[in-house]
Each structure stands twice: as C-alpha cells, then as structure tokens.
C-alpha cells in the first residue's frame, strides 16, 4: 500500500512539473557587458539546482577530508574500548576456570586500557557510550576481579589494596549495586579467613533492604554460627526458612540444631527459661526440643514441675503407642522424667499406668512405671515391672539402672545372693 501511494505521488509530481515546464514561456536574461545571455526559465532553474548540488557535494568532500585525523583517533578509541571490554571478559572467564593469575593480569590490563581510553576520550571530547558512570562501574568490577583472584591465591595485601580501590570507585549513587556486591564479597572473604567479626561488620554496613536478601542472610548465618552468636544465628535461620532459602527438612534441621545450641548455652534455670520463652510456638512444639529442654532443666537443678509441664505437651507424641518417635528420643524422655519422680503426682502416675496398659510389652514403659513405683515405695510392683523390663531393654543405661534397682530391692528383702547377681549384671553392662 505504501509503495502504491509513493507511485501515485511520483506521477502527481511529474504531471505538475510537465504542466509548469511545458507551457512556461518565461525567459531569464543575464547581462554581462558587453554580452547578453538569454536563457529559458526552465534551464535557469536546472542550472541553479545543479550548482546547489555541486556546491553541497564539494563542501561534504572537504569536511570529510579535514575530519579524517579526528575519525582516525576515534577509530583508535573504539579499538581501545573493545580491547578493554575483551580484557574484562577474559578476566572473568579465567576466574571461572580457576586460572587466577591470568585473571588478575587480564583485569589489570582492562584497568590500563580504561585509563588510556579515558585520557584519549577527554582529549577528543569523544563519547561512544563509555560514559563516566560506566567507566566507574568498570573500574570497580575490574578491581573486584583482581581482589577475587588475590583471595584465591591467598595474597591478602593485594586483595585489600584492590578492595579499597573497588570501594572508592563504587561510591557514586548511580553504581550502588556494584558497591553492595563488593561489600558482600568482602564479607565472604572474611568468612573464608575465619574472621566472623569482620564479616558481621561488612554486613552491618549494608542497607536494610540489601541485608535481608537471601545471599546476605546466608552470610550472616555462617558468620553468627562461627562467632557463637546463637541467638542471632537462630533469628537469621528463621528468616531464611521464611524466604524458603532451604528445603523444609533442611530448614527444620538447621533451626533444631541452633535451638539445641541455644539451650545448651544456658548455665542456670533462669537462662534456660528465658531461652525457651524466646522460641517460636512451632519450635516449642518439636518433641526433640521439648525433651532436650526438660532434660537440660533437670540437669541444671530446675523445678521438676516445670520440666513435667514441658514434657506433658509431647507425651502423646513420644510415649504412646503408634508414636513415630525414635527409641533414642523416648529413652531421653524417660531420663528427663525419671529425674523428677520423687515429686511426681497422681496424675502422672495414672498417665504412665494408662500408657503401660495400652502397650504392656513396652520395656521402656515397664522401666518407667517400675521406677515410679520404686520412688513411691511400692516394692512388689516395682520389682515385678523391673524384672520384666531388664529382659527386653535395649538401652545400656536404662538396663544398668534397672539391675541396680533390682539389687537394692533384693537387699531390702535380705536376698544377698540375688542382690549380688543383680549388681554383677549391672557391672557387666
């Protein structure tokens, strides 16, 4: 359609020119004493148009001739710019391939090319896209590549030198993302040097939005764990789990290990209770953490009633039949509950008895019920339950305690031979 319109327009122009020039009888007279030149108007117009075109082409030719040196310098500047970017790409490729010395040399070559290009561009007033912002960003990245190579080669003085230069070249507000990347790299290098304090200092300099990115949180988690800052590490792990930086099983495992470390760091019952209250509801519902907290509380000499209150929340998940808890967790649960059996109330006794009735062949429950009866001075029932328990207990510690309890019961009945045999069994374990 466009070609048809152009054709119609061309025909219209041709018709207009034909109408104007075909019947044009005008004459142009040029007086050049002693001569007189008579020309038709059509020829005069053609001559003027030809002269205009000729003068225009002549001026263009002269401009091209006089601009050849400038064009040559610009061409050299473009070649230098291409060489600069090629050197930067070579540095990145060598760094990824593990050729750190070549990467450092290529990055330094890019810096040299950029310096020469900047001088040449300032002399020519030439800008082929190599603006001041791009120049600053390129210098920062080149210095960062040299520092990265130096870190891999364990050349810390060279790394620090180029790190500072990278920071200086990334202070402009237009290249803030480059500066953030340099700071994150510096934090990672500090972690590689086993210096968590320096890593945390680098991370503290980041803006709030950057510090909540997944990469920054991962670095903060590593630094906090390395510095034994368990509370900070736990908070960071929660954020990473919220951002789904880990798979759900991995996130639970990390959080569980940090909570265990936090609980183990308590040195008295008050600190342990504060640590326990600082946990999330989901964390306080984990049977492993509940059992460990109760066991730790009893070890520190805390109140047995508080420990039993914690254990009650996971009693059904750990001790009742059809429970998916491991035997080690059940044994740890029994150990934590056993330490406070002296003050156990009737509700707990009925709870233990009901569990034993639901699973009468469970050796762990038989042991727990037998020890509870022993503490309540129900000697006959305790002796019966413990005698059945020692035949099936898999845990060495519980078996040893059961044999010692049977030995003490035998001594109370005056059966020294039976007591010696039980003490021998406990010693063998």
SS3 278: coil
Nearest one of 294, 290, 288, 315 to 306, comparing CA atoms: 294
| CA–CA dist 216, 380 (Å, integer) | 63
Q: Please, what are the averages of pLDDT over each run of 10 residues along the chain (429 residues)?
A: 83 73 70 77 80 91 82 81 89 92 91 82 57 80 92 92 89 82 93 92 89 91 91 90 87 89 89 89 87 89 88 81 74 85 82 84 85 83 84 85 84 79 79
User: What are residue 29's phi and psi, to 5 degrees?
Assistant: -110, 130
d(CA 373, CA 386): 10
**Residue whose C-alpha is closest to residue 426's, from 394, 402, 391, 393:** 402
Distance, in Å, from the CA atom of 169 to the CA atom of 157, rounded to the nearest integer, reads 19
Instruction: Give the model's pLDDT for residue 65.
Output: 83
Give the torsion sign (CA, 57, 63, 68, 71). negative
| 34 upstream amide cis, omega within 30 of 0 | yes
The DSSP call for residue 268 is S
- What is the model's pLDDT at position 157? 92
Specify the 3-state DSSP secondary structure of 32.
Answer: strand
User: Measuring CA to CA, which residue among 209, 93, 203, 188 is closest to residue 145?
Assistant: 93
pLDDT at 220: 94
pLDDT at 101: 92
Domain locations along the chain: 27-60, 248-338, 344-429
Q: Residue 247 class from Cβ within 10 Å (0-12 exposed, 13-18 middle, 19+ buried)? A: exposed
Q: What pLDDT sits at residue 321? A: 64
Query: What gap in Å lies between CA 83 and CA 172, rounded to an integer?
Result: 25
Under CATH, what is the fold of the domain 344-429? 1.25.40
């Amino acid at each position: 359609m466009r070609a048809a319109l152009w054709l119609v327009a061309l025909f219209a122009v041709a018709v207009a020119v034909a109408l104007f020039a075909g019947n044009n009888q005008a004459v142009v007279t040029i007086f050049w004493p002693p001569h007189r030149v008579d020309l038709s108007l059509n020829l005069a117009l053609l001559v003027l148009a030809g002269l205009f075109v000729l003068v225009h082409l002549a001026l263009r030719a002269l401009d091209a001739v006089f601009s050849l040196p400038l064009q040559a310098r610009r061409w050299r500047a473009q070649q230098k710019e291409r060489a600069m970017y090629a050197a930067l790409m070579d540095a990145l490729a060598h760094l990824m391939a593990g050729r750190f010395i070549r990467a450092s040399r290529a990055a330094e070559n890019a810096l040299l090319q950029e310096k020469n290009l900047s001088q040449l561009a300032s002399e020519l007033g030439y800008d082929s896209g190599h603006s001041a912002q791009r120049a600053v960003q390129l210098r920062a990245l080149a210095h960062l590549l040299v520092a990265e190579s130096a870190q891999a080669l364990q050349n810390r003085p060279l790394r620090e030198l180029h790190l500072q230069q990278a920071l200086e070249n990334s202070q402009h507000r237009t290249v803030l993302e480059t500066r953030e990347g340099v700071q994150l790299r510096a934090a990672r290098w500090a972690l590689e040097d086993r210096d968590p304090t320096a890593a945390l200092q680098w991370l503290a300099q980041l803006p709030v939005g950057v510090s909540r990115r997944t990469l920054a949180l991962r670095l903060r988690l590593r630094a906090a764990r390395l510095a034994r800052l368990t509370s900070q590490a736990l908070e960071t792990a929660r954020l990473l789990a919220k951002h789904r930086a880990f798979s759900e099983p991995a996130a639970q495992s990390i959080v569980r290990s940090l909570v265990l470390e936090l609980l183990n760091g308590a040195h008295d019952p008050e600190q342990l209770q504060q640590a326990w209250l600082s946990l999330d509801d989901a964390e306080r519902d984990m049977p492993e953490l509940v059992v460990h907290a109760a066991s730790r509380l009893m070890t520190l000499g805390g109140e047995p009633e508080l420990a039993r209150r914690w254990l009650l929340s996971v009693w059904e998940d750990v001790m009742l039949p059809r429970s998916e808890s491991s035997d080690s967790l059940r044994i740890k649960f029994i150990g934590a509950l056993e330490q406070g059996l002296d003050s156990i109330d009737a509700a707990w006794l009925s709870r233990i008895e009901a569990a034993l009735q639901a699973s009468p062949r469970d050796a762990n429950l038989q042991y727990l019920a037998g020890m509870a009866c022993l503490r309540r001075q129900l000697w006959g029932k305790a002796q019966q339950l413990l005698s059945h328990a020692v035949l099936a207990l898999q845990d060495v510690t519980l078996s040893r305690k059961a044999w010692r309890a049977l030995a003490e019961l035998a001594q109370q009945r005056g059966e020294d031979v039976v007591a010696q045999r039980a003490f021998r069994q406990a010693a063998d374990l």
